[in-house]
């Protein structure tokens, strides 16, 4: 098995517009999806990320407020999963609840060093 990282971006505007009840239903879908990944030994780790951050840029490591100017580009969380291939990791990601709020998932192989 190879490890893949899912970087979750966007969906914040649609999510903020939901009622507390709708948010509970949505979060239950995340819990179910991640629980199913865990039961299949596909889930390695994953957590949401704070909206605050800094970016260090250039040779002088100049510190900028960040992480990005546009909300749809901000990485809001990540998961690490086990999959047989990139294609398999993409198939697993298709079940992610972020798509209900017009978010996206970037799938990247974690390289061994």
Q: In the chain, what are the domain boundaries?
A: 2-109
Secondary structure letter of residue 24 according to DSSP:
H
pLDDT band at 64 (very low <50, low <70, confident <90, very high): confident
Q: How far apart are CA 37 and CA 52, in angstroms?
A: 28
Per-residue confidence (pLDDT) for residue 11, from 0 to 100? 79
In the three-class reduction of DSSP (H, G, I as helix; E, B as strand; rest coil), residue 68 is classed as coil
Pick the CATH number of 2-109 from 3.40.630.10, 3.30.70.1060, 3.50.50.60, 3.40.640.10: 3.30.70.1060
pTM of the predicted structure, to 2 decimals? 0.85
pLDDT tens digits for 75-109?
A: 889 999 999 999 999 999 999 999 998 899 999 99
pLDDT of the residue at 69: 58
Contacts 24+ apart (CB under 8 A), 31-38: 33/95, 33/96, 33/97, 34/79, 36/95, 37/79, 37/81, 37/92
Confirm if 3 and 89 have CB atoms less than 8 A apart: no
Q: Which residue has better confidence, 62 or 90?
A: 90
Say yes or no to pLDDT of 71 above 80: no
Which helix (H) or strand (E) element contains residue 34? helix 20-39
């Amino acid at each position: 098995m190879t490890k893949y990282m899912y970087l979750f971006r966007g969906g914040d505007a649609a999510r903020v517009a939901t009622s507390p009840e709708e948010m509970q239903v949505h979060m239950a879908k995340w819990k179910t999806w991640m629980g199913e990944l865990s039961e299949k030994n596909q889930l390695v780790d994953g957590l949401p990320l704070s909206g605050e951050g800094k970016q260090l840029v250039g040779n002088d490591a100049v510190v900028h407020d960040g992480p990005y100017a546009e909300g749809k580009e901000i990485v809001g969380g990540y998961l690490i999963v086990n999959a047989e291939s990139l294609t398999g990791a993409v198939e697993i990601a298709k079940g992610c609840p972020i798509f209900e709020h017009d978010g996206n998932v970037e799938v990247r192989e974690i390289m061994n060093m």
